[in-house]
Every structure is written in structure tokens, then in C-alpha cells.
Chains A and B, each alone.
Chain A
Amino acid sequence: MEQEVQVNESLRETAHTRAAAEKVKPVEENEKINKYKELDQVIRLYSKEPGQLINILQKAQDIFGCLSEEVQSYIAEKTENPVSEINGVVTFYSLFYTEPKGKHTFDLCLGTACYVKGAQELMDSLKDLLKVDEGETTKDRLFTLKSTRCIGACGLAPVLVVDGDVHGKASAGEITKIIQAYRKGEKIEGTKH
């Protein structure tokens, strides 16, 4: 039986027009409150200077993993901006996402230099290997595949960035190895528990 749990009043009150029932564990609830506290600090810090909305959004994304509707509305409330404006900014910039990403992110550069050196073929290989399309996350939530804009390492084209680490002169073979390594890593972690 679904039990409607009282979520902390100061954070959110679900209206009858929105999905109501959520079973939330106390530990997760604490984590959530802490995240919002962190966000409060960020907002306080950056509200001193004008025009820091993008910075606030970036930090919020780091804290929460993505910018959900709830987080966007919260930021709108605390920064005294209309929520439509916040949403407009979030959806404009490529670096913001509203859905949680996979544990590991593959950012393949499709800038001209990399493209000319065969990045498109690498992208096709990645799509095949991971069985996802560009911008999507694998079903096991392990990998997200994205194309990125030029990161300025054109001398090393084609370039693949995995979790922020730059792999220059990437090849299909190297990519396969990386994927295998992460998959194994996941397994190892799993068996530890």
C-alpha cells in the first residue's frame, strides 16, 4: 500500500494537482535537507553580486546532480526571480540538464578539428557499444553519452572526455577498453557489498 509520507513542510508541499505519493526514507530525507541548506549558502554568497544566476545554477547542479523542476522553483523563490525566467535560462544553456546523468559521462568532442579526424565514426562506435543515442543514458544508469563543443585540445584530435579526464587521439580500441574498465569497476564495487 502506498503511504503518503509528510515531506518536510519548509521544503515542499505537494498540491493535489501534482503526483502525490512518495515513499521517502528518513536518510534520503536528511540528505535532501542538507542539499537545500548547501544551496541556501550558495545563494546567499552569490546574491551579493548582480548577475550571478548562471553560477548559482551551476553550483546547484553540482549539489543535486541535475536541475529538477523543484530545484529550479526553489531558486526562483529564493532569488526573487520569476520561475519562467529561471527555466528559460536553464533550458538555453547546454551545460544545464534537468535529468540525472549516468555515473560516468562520455563527452566526445565533435568540433571541426576532431570531426575532420574521424570523431563521427567514434561517436557511431560509442552509440553501438553503449546502445544509446546521443544525449541519452544507459538503462543501468552507468553511462551518459554526449557530444561536446570544442574544448580547445585540437592538437590531439579526436578528443574524448570521460568524467572530466581528457583522452586525446582517441581510438575505437581505447574506447572499448575504457568502457570495459568502468563496467568491471562497477562489478567490483558491487561484490564488495
Chain B
Amino acid sequence: MKVQSIEDLKAVKEEYLPLIKQRLGHRNGLGSTQVMVCSGTACTSAASQDLRNGLQLEIERHGLKENVKVFKTGCFGFCQNGPIVMVHPGEVFYCNVKPEDAKEIVETHLMGGQVVERLLYRNVDNQVAQRMEDIHFFQAQTRIVLHNCGVINPEEIGEYIARDGYMALAEVIQKNNPREVIEAIKRSGLRGRGGAGFPTGRKWEMAAAQDVRPKYVLCNADEGDPGAFMDRSILEGDPHSVIEAMAVAGYCIGASQGYIYVRAEYPIAVKRLEIAIEQAREKGLLGKNLFGSSFDFDLGLRFGAGAFVCGEETALIHSVMGQRGEPRPRPPYPAQEGLWGKPTLINNVETYANIPAILRNGWEWYQGQGTAGSKGSKVFSLAGKINNTGLIEVPMGTTLRTIIFDIGGGIPGGKKFKAVQTGGPSGGCIPEKYLDMPIDYESLKEIGSMMGSGGMIVMNEDNCMVDIARFYLEFTQDESCGRCTPCRVGTKRLLETLKRITEGNGEIEDLELLEELSFDIRDASLCGLGQTAPNPVISTMRYFKDEYLAHIKDKNCPAGVCKELLNFVVDEEKCAACGICAKDCAAGAITGKPGEAYRIDPDKCSRCAACAAKCPKKAITRGPRKEEIINGNQGIRPGTVSPENRAAL
């Protein structure tokens, strides 16, 4: 049945509303039970597919098919504790559910009416949290972009409509007021969520002002930042929000064709999009004469093929055209000359996902959240050394401390926080002293990082910052398109210098070289990839200079990561000559006899640290290489060796 008017839309909403209401906690006497199973990539890999099938099987076996329905739903963002299953009514939140648990859930909960306590989440104070609202992780969030994730079945357009989906599009078309819509978006203060933070409303205005036809609307779903999976979750959990927003954008700027450029590494997101687009077309929400007007709009999918640089606007445009994804200088901007030389509006997935909410709730509402310069909320992905890895959405201006220690649950294993990397390979490492800084676009830039797409990687005392810088440079060097000199050759030289330092061959002059070259690459590069590639180097040198100095002067890696700078030494006093270490050594680097302290040959040692782990006396420790060079002792802690043994070496 095609939707031709707002009334038609409301009719669909009425149809699906009861399901949604129950999931939101309304006791509406639906008469049936709903079981939601998280079907994002992470949970799917952890067998949520099998889990769903298992539940379905058990439900049928127990004859509950009539009253119990199992639905897929989008990513809750609670990835450390997945797969997630929610049962409505009651908003019961089960985590770490395995396929084997399906039987118990059906029998104990669905049939017996008893919540399965062992599958419930326990808060930090070991209190059981039965409902999602009781869980602090979710309490502390402001889910605007993610408000449908975990609530609706992304493969059912009716559920999206039941949550007022496509209402914004309908009103925009009905009121025929593209200029007002653009004005509203400008006033809301929404800024591009892909990383650069360009004011979205201004971009739409620029594209709308062009007098050339045809125009195009592009969605950048290339989310290449390692550690970032916000866009993926939105596409897997609420694809229609992006589709609706793109249709609105098309209407406002005068385009009737849009493309979503998805990276190939997101097969589930691709599938969800394909289903969503198909369903939208069936309902007449994509295609010709939307809502009975003369406005046509349709969407196509284009796929990336493994190039991080294609997340850059102009490179993306080239890739959509089937060419090498090489950026080009701007001006002219894509809004003026983009796809096939025509005006092209290109925004990030998360940016689009904000649009329907802004239009439904009003720009004043959106503008009331966040900081002076950065309005609204932001989705962050928490990863690395943090207890609650996953996805969160908080208002701009939330402090890092809140995000990491409160919502994120702090550092596991009692380790100490060292730094948090924001913005992926384009961002910088932020040390402890800035934990109380409210996050927004400007504040992050000031301290040498950037918002980026929202990835946050937490690091602890066991991470070496020089190694991290090297890691990021390796990434950008591999992904550089090769067009401009500073990025192609400059990042290579930068990486070679960092490698030298991590291998113990750094010189003090290298620090100046790193700094100068970093600034030159930043200033001279053609596109954002090269311009931000040196950020990890610049920020780690700014805040962790001591680590660099340790690598260069002392030939030591304080965090114990850089293999070439480590030496595992046997503390002669503690060594019991049991020989366990030698047996376990895969490299055959340890030799010794009963009665004598065992010795590690640093040339053969592969620094795997297995010996240190196995030693019952904890006699094997890490030491810097320089010590050994000075004292000429091989593998034995200096000052503890008796003359006889020393002679035997």
C-alpha cells in the first residue's frame, strides 16, 4: 500500500504503534510478548543469529508461536556484554546471552513468568538491573541519533513510521518550504559529524544556491576510522533515518538522485540498507511523486573497495564515479562541482541521522543541548582499555572523565589511565590533565586532537605512546593515495624516523626533524588525510615527550612495548635454576645449569615474555637495553653476579 499523504502515513503508524509502545514500557494490553535480539555486527559475530533461531525454535516447540514474536533490532552499543536480548513487556534486559540460553529464557521467563536472574546485568555495586533504564550505562546517555536502535526492527519500515518516521519528510513536502528547512538546520547548529565539523546548514544552503542541474545527494558511509563504528550501528539499527534525511536534503537543494557510499567491510549494513530502500520504494516513500507532489527522489548504493582515503569528500566522489579514489584541490567545493561536475551535497551518516529529529522536535530543542559552538549530541565509540566498550551518545560538552570513568566504567584490571585517542588516525592523544575538559569541536582542536568521527580509544600504562604514533603513521602511510608530495613521501619519512626510534636507533636530532616535518606535512598536504596524518605525532610529542626521550637517550621503552628496546634479564639473586624458562623458550635463547643462574641471550630472544610469565620466582624482568650495553653483561642483572660466574660467561 503506497503512502500518498500524511494521513496514509498516520495509518501505518497506528498499525505498528502498539508494538512500539509496549517496548517503551506502556502497559497497553497488547496481549503478546516481544523478544528483541540485538543483530548488529558484533552481536551477530557472537552468534546472535543462532540465538534468534534457537529462541524461535524453543518458542515453537512450546507452542507459544501465537503470542510471542522474536524481532531483530539494532545495536544497543553495549558490546562488551553482548549478545543482548530484551523481553517486553517489562523491558527486561538480558546480556551475554548464548544460543544455549534460549531454552531457559523460553521456559523460565516466557512460560514461567520468572526473570532469568543470572542473565541480568549487574551494576558496579553488584546490584541486579532488570530493566535497561536501571543500567547506568544507558541512564547517562542522551540517545537522539540512536533513539531507535534497540527499539525497532530495522527491517520493518512500519516500525520506523510508528516512531514518527517519514513525518518530517511529509511535512517538508507538504509545506513546500525548503528555505525554511535549511534555515532551521542552520539555526540548530548541527555540524558535520564525519570529522571536520562544517556547519551542515551552510553546506545545504551552498548546494541549494547552485543553479546547475542535476544535483546529487551523497551519504558518506565509508567510516574508515579504525575503532569507530557509529555509522555502522546507525545503518544497521535505523537505516530509514538516513534515507528520510537524504530525501529531505534532496528536496531542499533540488536533487532527485542520491547515493549512499558504504564501505565493503560492512556487509550487514549493506543488507539492511538494501532492505530498507526496497521497503521505502514499495511504500512510495522513495521513487516518483513523493506524497503526491512533483518531487522525485531515489537512492542507489555504491561500495567502497578498501581505501580509507575514500572517506574524504572529493575522493569519495571519484570513487562513486568508478575511478581511483584520489582527492582533488578545493575550490571548487563539491557543493559547487561534485559528482560528474554537478553540485553535490555530501554529509556523513550521523549528520543525516540527526535531521529527522531536528525537524520533528524543532531547532530550538536541538540548539538547547551541547555547548556554545557545538550543539546537540554526539555518538562516541568506546574501545581499547576500558570496561564498557561499545557505543554511547551524550550531549556535546560532556567531559572525558564522565565518558571514560562513569559511563565507560573505567580501566579494567586496576591499571592506570594514560591517554585517550579521539578522532582516529587524524586525531591526537589526550593525557590525564584534560580529562575534565568538556568535549566539543573547538576544545579538542585546541589541545591538539579533534572530534573526528567520534572514535575514542582508551590507553593505559601498558601502551607505549611512541609505538602508538608509529602505528597510526603506518596506517596513514598505507592509506595515502600518493598524489601529493608531503603525504606520499613525507609520511613515509616520518614513519621511518619513528621506526628508527622504536628500534633503538633514534638520535636527538630526530625530535626536531619529527616536529618540523610534521608541521610541514600538515600545512602542505592536499587533503584532510595528509593534513591530519601528523596529528598523532604532534600530540604525543607534546604530552609524552619523556617517552620519546627515553627511547632515544636511554634506549628504553618505559611501557615495555617496543621489542627492540627490551631486554629480559634474569635476576641472579632470585633465580632458582629450575630451568622452566629454558624449556618454555620458543627461541631457545635461555641456557643454564642447575646451581647456576640461567642466562638469556638477547640476540636470540624474541621478547615474547613467556619466560617472565612462567618463572615461579618472578626472577625475570624487563630492563632497558642500554644498561646491558654499558655493563657488557649478557642477560644478567648487573651487580649481582659473583666473579666465578662472570668468568664463565
Contacts and interface: CB of A to CB of B under 8 A. Distances in A.
Interface stretch (A18-26, A27-35, A50-58, A182-190): A50-58
B379 interface: no
Interface in A103-162: 109-117, 148-157, 159
B457 A153 contact: no
Nearest to A88: B324
A93 B263 CA distance: 11
A149 B311 CA distance: 13
Contacts of B103: none
B421 A112 contact: yes
Interface stretch (A8-16, A37-45, A163-171): A163-171
Given A89-B323, A166-B45, A149 B459 contact: no
B389 A155 contact: yes
A80 interface: no
Given A96-B305, A151-B41, A152-B223, A112 B457 contact: yes
B333 interface: no
B13 to A, nearest CB: 31
A116 B41 contact: no
Contact of B389 (A93, A115, A154, A167): A154
Interface string A38-74: 0000000000011111110110000000000000000
B471 to A, nearest CB: 6
B227 A154 contact: yes
A113 B224 contact: no
A154 B307 CA distance: 19
B305 A95 contact: yes
Contacts of B323: 53, 85, 89
A111 B226 contact: yes
A149 B226 contact: yes
Contacts of A95: 264, 305-306
A112 B384 contact: yes
Which residue of A55, A112, A114 has the most chain B CB atoms within 10 A of its CB atom? A112
Nearest to B609: A121
Contacts of A17: none
A168 B46 contact: yes
Interface string B187-207: 000000000000000000000
B8 to A, nearest CB: 30
B306 A94 contact: yes
B455 interface: yes
A41 B470 CA distance: 46
A89 B340 contact: no
Contacts of A166: 41-42, 44-45
Interface string B36-52: 00000110111000000
Nearest to B388: A155
A116 B381 contact: no
A83 B225 CA distance: 32
B228 interface: yes
Contacts of B322: 50-54, 89
Contacts of B424: 112
Contact of B383 (A54, A88, A113): A113
B305 A157 contact: no
A45 B455 CA distance: 38
Contacts of B421: 112
Given A55-B302, A93-B325, A96-B305, A113 B41 contact: no
Interface string B419-448: 001001100000000000000000000000
B150 to A, nearest CB: 14
A156 B389 CA distance: 8
Interface string B270-307: 00000000000000000000000000000010111111
A144 to B, nearest CB: 15
B82 interface: yes
A156 B46 contact: yes
Contacts of A148: 265
B588 to A, nearest CB: 14
Nearest to B267: A164
Interface of B: 41-42, 44-46, 79-80, 82, 223-229, 232-233, 264-267, 300, 302-308, 319-325, 340, 381, 383-385, 389-391, 421, 424-425, 455, 457, 459, 463, 471-472, 481
| The 5 nearest A-B residue pairs measured at CB | A155-B79, A111-B226, A166-B45, A53-B322, A94-B306
Interface of A: 49-55, 57-58, 85, 88-89, 92-96, 109-117, 148-157, 159, 164-168
Given A54-B303, A54-B304, A157-B383, 8 more contacts: A58-B303, A58-B305, A113-B457, A116-B384, A154-B226, A154-B228, A156-B79, A168-B45
